[in-house]
Chain A
């Protein structure tokens, strides 16, 4: 059974970048997608973007379009999310999640499961 294991907590300065990894343990990505979702303190879940590793195509939420880059390395079954120009508002727990993609229905994203354990990113001067 696939589990997603994320990299450890990070503390970053405003204006810098952070790169969080998400490795599939006990299996591979297969034809699934990987999505990134964050939760700021006291806030709800927020979809940031995702990628389908076998195709390498990434899509992003408009809010993060110019600051986030999501990549994946199929050979190591690891996905990455890099967020640039960090500010205090980016302090959050970042989750990766496996996405079931329905290729028979225009590549629609159906569900997120399982999720990684979360990575706390703290942005502070």
Chain B
């Protein structure tokens, strides 16, 4: 159960788009269509953004989108806003009722 691999940091200017990658293996990300993404502002509870690779829960802005190719999932945030500055985590189901998170990516809005 090794952590999924995410870039430590990404940045973008307001209005731009950024993409965060999340690389796992053929035992987790590549096998199950069960990658979810979470936004985490320090001191607050994480918030679900994307589930099942690309589905968006009701109430989540359509500026957030997810995709996957092979063992790598991606989260794209379009039209960057100041309030998007946070930590972002991917998570994948890994079989036998277990899950694994990515190391997290710090998004800086310049």
Contacts and interface: CB of A to CB of B under 8 A. Distances in A.
A112 B45 contact: no
A102 to B, nearest CB: 8
Contacts of A110: 34, 36, 51-52, 93
Interface residues of A, number: 29
B106 to A, nearest CB: 10
Contacts of B38: 45, 112
Given A61-B1, A95-B45, A117-B45, A47 B100 contact: yes
Interface in A32-58: 33, 35, 37, 44-47, 50, 52, 57
Interface residues of B, number: 27
Contacts of B107: none
Most buried by A among B36, B38, B99, B103: B99
B3 A44 contact: yes
Most buried by B among A35, A47, A61, A118: A47
Contacts of A33: 97
B99 A35 contact: yes
B73 to A, nearest CB: 14
A47 B45 contact: no
Given A45-B40, A95-B45, A113 B57 contact: yes
Nearest to A47: B99
A21 B65 CA distance: 34
A109 B1 contact: no
B91 A112 contact: yes
A108 B31 CA distance: 12
Contacts of B45: 95, 114-118
Given A46-B3, A47-B98, A111-B51, 6 more contacts: A59-B97, A95-B46, A108-B32, A111-B48, A112-B91, A117-B45
